[in-house]
Structure 1
């Protein structure tokens, strides 16, 4: 088994899925979809902020809340064979979600941990899909955290908008696939 095969599910293997497997795959894909929509919503909120419109803070808060929900959905249902890689991807979100609750004013910090998860997902999915820019997403998300810390809404809008578009294409491609593609061979998962 090569390095890539150790990291994620093998779409060539058709595993028999039970109900929990199907729920897991659908939840993972919902997390990716919600993340894409949340980034696009955050893009809109940041543009409204630049325009100094009153609705910006409310839309921004909803966007960040949905980013948190998408992190929980995706982190709880990530399908990666290698347990160390899976732990890094998943636990980044759990740490981010804990910080979201404990330190809600430190957006850049908890969003940074959540973005580690979605950077890992982007890299994982780039092995399966030739979505343009998917390998660029980790850099865009890292820069987004820096810009979030610097409180630069114009630059943040551009970064999360582009990331959101790339993730939207990924979400569309994921929903086209049969569910068993995400699971691969259950025997290969490290426990």
Structure 2
């Protein structure tokens, strides 16, 4: 757990890393809303000209890459699980483009953001973060089973929680995300 009383000296690479990580979290929150809107369009709850699904996948891929590439977790095994889930999800997203198995890469990317949510819930007390793995798991299962309305609801709730996280993260000093550099395992 990060010690918020410790003030680490950050170089410019550290600052860029934290800002990119936070931008990834922010983009992910909007991606969840965009995905919900795309599902609502697919099941004719709303009518939107254009295809949101492709834009949602691109946004999801970008947000996962931004956050996973700049993840600050002390334990290297946990860091590896979170980041490799993102890279596997990104490769599968490319390989399974326009497939009925689109839920599989989405599930891997959701593992990444579930890990990020749990990491943030241990470091900072942001309301609702411990629900994220549950919501994203249910959403993935519902996408696989094509139960669109429940997937839409789970994604929307997760989007609200991640938006709240993003707002809280931008209020924090940058050094909160890095913690103590001496505690990182190589």
Aligned equivalent of 1:65: 58
Could you give the per-residue CA deviations for residues 156-186 of structure 1, whole angstroms, max 9, x where no partner exists?
1101000000000000000000000000111
8 A contact 1:48–1:56 mirrored in 2 = no
Aligned equivalent of 2:114: 119
Gaps of at least 5 residues in structure 2 are none
Could you give the per-residue CA deviations for residues 24-78 of structure 1, whole angstroms, max 9, x where no partner exists?
0000000000000000111111112221666477112211210110000000000
Aligned equivalent of 2:82: 89
Q: Which runs of 4+ in 1 moved over 6 A?
A: none
CA–CA separation in structure 2 for the residues paired with 1:60 and 1:156: 14
Q: How does 1:18-29 map to 2 (within 5 A)?
A: 18-29=11-22
TM-score (norm 1): 0.91
Aligned equivalent of 1:164: 159
Aligned equivalent of 1:14: 7
Aligned equivalent of 2:181: 186
8 A contact 1:12–1:184 mirrored in 2 = no
Could you give the per-residue CA deviations for residues 81-129 of structure 1, whole angstroms, max 9, x where no partner exists?
0000000011100000011111222211101111100000111111233
CA–CA separation in structure 2 for the residues paired with 1:58 and 1:24: 32
Is 1:36 the counterpart of 2:4? The answer is no
More deviation, 92-101/127-136: 127-136
Is 1:80 the counterpart of 2:81? The answer is no
Gaps of at least 5 residues in structure 1 are none
TM-score (norm 2): 0.94
